[in-house]
Amino acid sequence: MNLHEIQTGLAKGKFTLKTIVRNYLNTIEKNKDLNVFITLFNKGTIDRAEEIDSKTKTGKAGKLAGCIVSVKDVIAVKDKPLTCGSKILSNFISLYNATAIERLTEEDAIIIGKVNCDEFAMGSSNEHSYFGATKNPVDKERVPGGSSGASAVSVATDMCNISLGSETGGSVRQPASFCGVTGLKVTYGRISRYGLVAFASSFDSIGIFAKSNYDIAKVLEVIAGYDEKDSTSVLNPVDNYSELLNNKFKSGEIIFGYPKEYFTEGINEDILKGIQHKIELVKKAGFEVKEISLPHSEYVIQTYYILTSAEASSNLERYDGIRYGYRAGNEDSNLNDMYINTRSEGFGDEVKRRIMLGTYVLSAGYYDEYYKKAQKARRLIVKDFENAFKEVDYIITPTTPNTAFKIGEKIDNPLSMYLNDIFTASANLAGVPAISIPAGFDRNGLPFGIQIIGKKFNEAGLLRICDFL
Ligand code: GLN
């Protein structure tokens, strides 16, 4: 059932929200072995459902009554643990709500719990979590993707109908692809980052997972928009996304491009065939599809990892054992030892790797050679998109070069893990919106997605495309 069907059923009294929530909680209980939730809001959730059921009876329920949302544990929910999948914040309780959470709950969405993720959202497999790996429901020996892997799993297995994740380089789209659900990354600044724990501030955005584009549209229209608490949130008006879904594209109205650099060797054959098949469908629907070029694509991964690690090394400075969470040693430890031991014990290997890489590229001797050069490369990547969008309205690519890999397969090979972001990180470098839509299954029955990248603030277009892809 999509949200519209749920809301109609609730209004007609066919079922109650309490029953729906109970069903989700049962599903969560049955699938505990997937290791999806870090904190489950059991009791509170049922009480909230009862309250909203009474509001429904008097026609007073909010726009999102019927939305049951799991939240990646990098987004703040007041009075609940906010661990970021890290030991260093394993005992930290949030003092306030993220703006997105505030807006969701005001409209009667129910937050069902906080879900697992790679530590501080750094990873592509969910294996870098202090709370253990989350498993892919299609094949439990495989990863669900990351870093918002558990968000994707929670939606794919009907533990909820919406999940909020976060994106710095593909962390919503890649797990959406690996788990067979839809995942939207919005234009940079479209959703407030207030209450989203910072990884790389000039890249980060909140993203939305669901099975239906209608549900994503409904949630987006509530959580998007300017927020005085986030100076990078933008003033542009928020579209009425769910109504815009009724506007069907007329044949010939839009042009699609596929970047030749994204269709090279190394992509799983079944994914390639699946995407080519989708391109044929787009043509049959009456739209032009042409080859385009994003000439600086080969620099995306290097640029992304240099810049995000630099920003991360600065953002993660604040975890010093004084202000937040875990503290090593005892009252007799000297201050310096306390700092060092807290960070050595509190952070996992991947986070340490990024901090080291980040401080290195920012250090006096290497700043020009790496950080500054990467900033210039970012500008060229942005320009590639600006040029491409003069010719076409939407860009089609595979979301990932492969389907879900085995747990443990890439954990000791960071470079091969990083290469999973090869098709997704460019949209974050350029700040443009992009969506991953389920596109089929490989020969082993593992799902994969197709990615559509749009012009800034054209989230509506991306959601409308889901209808014919
Ligand atoms: N996999 C990417 C990384 O590890 C993306 C992470 C993200 O989008 N949060 O940096």
Question: Which pLDDT value is given to residue 324?
Answer: 87
Domain of 62, CATH number, reads 3.90.1300.10
Cα angle: 35, vertex 20, 95; to 5 degrees: 60
24 in any annotated domain: yes
Which pLDDT belongs to residue 123? Answer: 98
Whole-number Å distance between alpha carbons of 347 and 166: 20
Around ligand 1, the residues with Cβ closer than 6 Å are 121-124, 147, 166-171, 199, 308, 421
- Record the tokens describing residue 16, joined without a space: 């109650």
The domain total for the chain is: 1
Does the residue 368 lie in any domain?
no
- Tokens at 197, concatenated: 């724990």
Question: Tokens standing for 250?
Answer: 């007329």
Structural domain contains residue 352: no
Q: Helical H runs in 80-122?
A: 99-106
Atom of ligand 1 nearest to the CA of 304: 10
User: Region 341-354: what's the mean pLDDT?
Assistant: 98
Q: Which of 168, 131, 144 is nearest to 308 (CA)?
A: 168
Determine which residue's CA is closest to atom 4 belonging to ligand 1: 123
For residue 264, is pLDDT > 90? Answer: no
Query: 154 is in which domain, residue-wise?
Result: 3-244
Amino acid at 229: K
Determine, yes or no, domain membership for 270.
no
Q: Is the pLDDT of residue 121 over 90?
A: yes
pLDDT digits (tens, 9 = 90+) for 404-442: 999 999 999 998 899 889 999 999 999 999 999 999 999
Ligand 1 center to 124 CA (angstroms): 6
Q: Which atom of ligand 1 is nearest to the CA of 425?
A: 5
Ligand 1 atom closest to the Cα of residue 199 is 9
Residues taking part in catalysis: 72, 147, 171
Strands 162-167 and 205-210 come out as: antiparallel
Rounded to the nearest 10 degrees, the angle between the axes of helix 300-315 and helix 349-362 is 100
Q: How many CB atoms lie within 10 A of CB 291?
A: 10
User: Dmax over Cα atoms in the chain, in whole Å?
Assistant: 73
C-alpha of residue 333 to centroid of ligand 1, in Å: 35
| Position 252 in a domain | no
Residue 468 has pLDDT above 90, yes or no: no
Residues 332-359, mean pLDDT to the nearest whole number:
96
User: Considering only CA atoms, which of 109, 217, 133 is closest in space to residue 464?
Assistant: 217
pLDDT at 254: 97
Percentage of the chain exceeding pLDDT 70: 100
Q: Rounded to the nearest whole angstrom, what is the distance from the C-alpha of residue 123 to the centroid of ligand 1?
A: 5
> Would the pLDDT of 43 be above 90?
no
The C-alpha angle with vertex 270 and arms to 269 and 274, in degrees rounded to 5, equals 120
Q: How confident is the model over 307-342, as pLDDT tens digits?
A: 999 999 999 999 999 988 999 988 888 999 999 999
What percent of the chain stands above pLDDT 90? 95
Say how many Å lie between the CA of residue 418 and the centre of ligand 1: 8
